[in-house]
Structure 1
Amino acid sequence: MPSEKPRLIRSIRLPVAAEKRIETDFIAPPPPDAPLDTPALLALAEKEQASAMLVTHHSPLRGADVAAIPACVKLVATVSVGLDHLDVPALLARGIKVSNTPDVLTDCNADLTMMLILAACRRAAEYYTLMKNGWGHTLGMDEMLGLRVSGKTLGIVGMGRIGQALARRARGFEMKVLYHNRRRLDPAQEEGATYFETLEDMLPHCTILSLHMPGTQGAPPLMTARTLGLLPRGSVLVNAARGSLVDETALIDALRSGHLFSAGLDVYQNEPHPNPRLLALPNIFMTPHTGSATVETRTAMSMLALDNVAALAAGKPLPSPVTA
């Protein structure tokens, strides 16, 4: 007699191909109409006696949440590369395996970051607003001028997979690339970029700064009034990593004063309700945390999460385990 299919739950509806795979290969309740919060996720896991939970940042598992996970759950598979919504040490201490989805979202996140750079430098939000309002007058030679991206100096904070992919794209714009990382990479991984041991030493050289560090729960912002002040006047800040990396009050002040020419943001301190003062600024281009939001990438992320569930059920090593 064939063994029972693995039992799982997910906190959010997945792309079509992944949902079809769940119907075929797993035992699972229907996908939720809206993302489940943590209490609803835990209640569903208990009800369904699921051996695995597929989660996203909508359902953080920290502190008391980890202790409340039903004993039936043996794997938390996050459909993300980031782990700041999970207390990984606590999960592992309970004997619950953890997996994530690295690599498959690298290119789309780097693509979106390049879009933010171009849109912030070339005043895309302001141009779009002007056109939606009917345009109405020919622009003069000195009106609504943006910044040329080609040839600028780009500073990358966090030279992991996405940082390296962005550096490759920046080379196509003949940009000079600098980077700051916890450690210097092997030359083969540097993508021709120049390493700075300290952030403070790098910032004065950056016309454009792009953040690619993971977020840490409770850590102070990386970009504060002091560090923003080290950037040259008229520079551009881009953040497609984590909203917690930026002091938004300091960012607003820098954008209003003209110290920053503009910003491109995909992430915010308060999601999905960004600071209204940010929304009111004309010199900012904003997207709603959509770095991986393509059919190809979200499908690949979901499939990798399901691969981990299938491996667990088969007693095989997880394809993308998180071990610390």
Structure 2
Amino acid sequence: MATTAGQKPIVLHIGDPVKWNTELYAQFSKDFTVIRPSTEDRQRDQFMKALKEKKWGNFDAIFRPFWSTGGEMGRWDKELIPLVPESCKIFASAGAGFDWADVDILAERGIVYCNSAAASSESVSDFALFLILSTFRNLNWCTTSARDSPAAFQDCHTNAAPVSHNPRGHTLGVIGLGNVGFEIARKAYLAFHMNIIYYDVLRKPNAREAEIEARFVSSLDEMLGLSDCVILATPASPDGKKVVTKERLAKMKVGSRFVNIARGSLVDEEAVADAVEEGRLVGVGMDVHENEPRVNERLKGLRQVTLTSHNAGGTLETHIGFEELSMRNIDALLKGQKPLTPVNMHLMTSAVKSNL
């Protein structure tokens, strides 16, 4: 665990102090030398200056326990990452998404990036079921009408039923069957008795597929055409491009549905609005948005669209898990073990992997 001359490894803690896992953090602080830069030092210009001047020494790990603080320096990119000392071996962060960090460049530098998606799987999958059900049962229409006038109430009561459906027996297409995607699929399979198909860059083992009778479809376009409801559950696009585009939406069935609990930047929201207005999509659920906290004005005006405020992972249990998993990833790697939730190990060279 110790570095040269018996010194303890140094962990750079960016963001607010740990709030919930205080006993674990106390032990973490005994095992490692923890340095927490001030809010001022975390502003991009000041942060980069401090890295150039080695203000925090040759630290071994970066620890970000919250998604809402610790990101004041902005994007971790080709301008920022080269300033990180070569001693750094791991960046462990709260949150599932990592569109704010170039994990490929981190890999080139020999830095393992670990996210905390596993800590949010339960919360996100529960919320995803609500959005899936909303697309089948017109829940946005139902809930807003009940708060409106008696006429709106009666209109929805009378007219929503003929255009609403039970999810049972319909096909759910999952884009990204990772920890979160699998849990969504598992719950939809068990609770709604939906048929599960999925597309991913890596196929899951047969035993894993068998748990939910899932079928792998090697072509995303083909999967879109087979699905009654498509849910986007991938944390990032491999090439940085949008996953759901006008062209891809055109591959979907007329009368199908779409849910996004991944990242707003992965979806062409104007194309989604077009697809709703054209009748190709009869239900949409969007928890994440391209220009948060601003929400697409066209989508806000469509009663077939349920919009939420990036709430899917937002539970106390998730935040507690973010803290814990980030610490445990660092603890494992700096003590000679494998990290628990690496994201970019497949991008690292064999020589680097063998030393981790």
Question: TM class, shorter-chain normalised?
Answer: 0.7 to 0.9
Q: After TM superposition, give the deviation of residue 316 of structure 1 in Å.
A: 5.2
Q: After TM superposition, give the deviation of residue 74 of structure 1 in Å.
A: 5.0
> Which aligned pairs between 1:264-275 and structure 2 lie closer than 5 A?
264-275=285-296
> Mind listing any 5+ residue stretches in structure 2 that lack a counterpart?
1-5, 348-356
1:155 aligns with 2:173: yes
Structure 2 counterpart of 1:310: 331
Q: Secondary structure at the match of 1:305?
A: helix
Tell me, in whole angstroms, the C-alpha distance in 1 between the residues paired with 2:47 and 2:331.
20
1:243-288 deviation line (CA, Å, top 9, x unaligned): 2332111111111222211211122222333333333333211223
Matched letter for residue 187 of structure 1 = N
Q: After TM superposition, give the deviation of residue 7 of structure 1 in Å.
A: 4.4
Match for residue 201 of structure 1 among 222, 232, 242: 222
Structure 1 counterpart of 2:321: 300
Q: Secondary structure at the match of 1:154?
A: strand
Q: After TM superposition, give the deviation of residue 104 of structure 1 in Å.
A: 2.9
* Kept in 2: contact 1:13–1:32 (CA 8 A): no
Q: Secondary structure at the match of 2:20?
A: helix
Matched letter for residue 8 of structure 1 = L
Tell me, in whole angstroms, the C-alpha distance in 1 between the residues paired with 2:247 and 2:233.
19
| Residue 41 to residue 126, structure 1, CA distance change in 2 (3 Å) | farther
Structure 2 counterpart of 1:63: 78
1:123 aligns with 2:118: no
Query: Please, what is the CA RMSD of the aligned residues?
Result: 3.3
Match for residue 204 of structure 2 among 185, 201, 210: 185
Structure with the higher fraction of residues in helix conformation: 2
Structure 2 counterpart of 1:11: 15
Tell me, in whole angstroms, the C-alpha distance in 2 between the residues paired with 1:10 and 1:156.
34
Q: Secondary structure at the match of 2:196?
A: strand
Tell me, in whole angstroms, the C-alpha distance in 2 between the residues paired with 1:97 and 1:202.
32
1:173-211 deviation line (CA, Å, top 9, x unaligned): 121222223354333211202332222223233211111
Question: Identity of aligned pairs, percent?
Answer: 26
Tell me, in whole angstroms, the C-alpha distance in 2 between the residues paired with 1:217 and 1:40.
31
Q: Secondary structure at the match of 2:159?
A: coil
* Kept in 1: contact 2:97–2:263 (CA 8 A): no
| Residue 72 to residue 41, structure 1, CA distance change in 2 (3 Å) | farther
| Residue 216 to residue 168, structure 1, CA distance change in 2 (3 Å) | closer
Match for residue 106 of structure 2 among 91, 97, 116: 91
Matched letter for residue 17 of structure 1 = W
Q: Secondary structure at the match of 1:306?
A: helix
Match for residue 100 of structure 1 among 90, 98, 115: 115
Structure 2 counterpart of 1:143: 159
Structure 1 counterpart of 2:94: 79
Q: After TM superposition, give the deviation of residue 30 of structure 1 in Å.
A: 8.7
Q: After TM superposition, give the deviation of residue 62 of structure 1 in Å.
A: 1.0
Tell me, in whole angstroms, the C-alpha distance in 1 between the residues paired with 2:218 and 2:86.
45
Matched letter for residue 174 of structure 1 = H
Match for residue 165 of structure 1 among 176, 183, 207: 183
Tell me, in whole angstroms, the C-alpha distance in 2 between the residues paired with 1:183 and 1:307.
26
Structure 2 counterpart of 1:255: 276
Matched letter for residue 167 of structure 1 = A
* Kept in 2: contact 1:51–1:74 (CA 8 A): yes
| Residue 182 to residue 23, structure 1, CA distance change in 2 (3 Å) | closer
| Residue 64 to residue 307, structure 1, CA distance change in 2 (3 Å) | same
TM, length-normalised to structure 2: 0.75
Structure 2 counterpart of 1:132: 147
Q: Secondary structure at the match of 1:104?
A: helix
Structure 1 counterpart of 2:62: 53
| Residue 229 to residue 93, structure 1, CA distance change in 2 (3 Å) | closer
| Residue 307 to residue 31, structure 1, CA distance change in 2 (3 Å) | farther
> Mind listing any 5+ residue stretches in structure 1 that lack a counterpart?
none
Matched letter for residue 309 of structure 2 = P
Structure 1 counterpart of 2:247: 226
Answer with 226-235 or 246-255: which moved more: 226-235
* Kept in 2: contact 1:255–1:262 (CA 8 A): yes
* Kept in 1: contact 2:237–2:243 (CA 8 A): no
Q: After TM superposition, give the deviation of residue 305 of structure 1 in Å.
A: 0.7
Tell me, in whole angstroms, the C-alpha distance in 2 between the residues paired with 1:269 and 1:225.
15
* Kept in 2: contact 1:208–1:235 (CA 8 A): yes
Match for residue 212 of structure 1 among 233, 239, 254: 233
Tell me, in whole angstroms, the C-alpha distance in 2 between the residues paired with 1:201 and 1:152.
16
Tell me, in whole angstroms, the C-alpha distance in 2 between the residues paired with 1:312 and 1:183.
25
* Kept in 1: contact 2:11–2:63 (CA 8 A): no
Matched letter for residue 233 of structure 1 = V
Q: Secondary structure at the match of 1:17?
A: coil
| Residue 217 to residue 203, structure 1, CA distance change in 2 (3 Å) | closer
